[in-house]
Amino acid sequence: MLHLTRSLDFSAHSSYVRGTETATGAPPALENGIPPRTGFASLRWQPAGRHFWVEAYCSMAAAQRRLSDNDLQQARIGGIRTREEISNFFNNGAVARGLVTGGVLLPTGETLPQVLRRVLGPDLSAKVPLYLENPSYATFNLRGGFRLGEGSSVTVIVENIFDKNYRPMGSGIDAPGLNAMVRFSRSF
């Protein structure tokens, strides 16, 4: 933490892990993969002698392009797709979402056989990952809080203010979108 003034602090941290199978030089086949380079930076303002604070912070991750065969097969990372899964979504989920009408994928004008050839290639029995990398991201967030009295506080948090889509490595969960929380804490 770096104290810029009596009321203003800057903090940051970063981490990086690189794993390699010694026999092959390939990324190791670990559950949830090797995390990408990640970072966090924060600027916090808390006036001296006051009971409130405000903080702007950024969470970020570089792209992870070194995925093992195991990573590519995991639904949470590579998202392997098969002919059956693509057909099921095309005929059910995409229809329910209004993306397919009359057997045609509206955004591209493709039929199911065309989608299968585009995604799987000539071998329709292939299992193909949807993602070949975990993309980079950065989120901008704000939080602030104030003390209500002895041992009580309220914190307000607004995350992913620019509503960017992102997926933390190995989570299988896309970003929650713009997210707001109010938290009450009581210490005894």
Rounded distance between C-alpha atoms, residue 63 and residue 185, angstroms: 36
pLDDT tens across 133-180, in order? 999 999 999 999 999 988 899 999 999 999 998 989 888 888 878 999
Domain ranges for the chain, please list them. Answer: 2-68+134-186, 80-129
pLDDT of res. 185? 95
pTM: 0.77
Query: Beta 152-159 vs 179-186: how paired, if at all?
Result: antiparallel
Three-class SS state of 85: helix
d(CA 16, CA 37): 4
* Residue labelled with tokens 């390699």: 20
- Report the C-alpha gap between 171 and 77 in whole angstroms: 8
Q: How far apart are CA 160 and CA 141, in angstroms?
A: 6
pLDDT value of position 33: 87
Measured CA angle at 63 (ends 62, 65), to 5 deg: 140
DSSP state of 64: B
pLDDT over 90 (residue 52) = yes
**Residue-level pLDDT at 45:** 98
Arithmetic mean of pLDDT, 29-53: 93
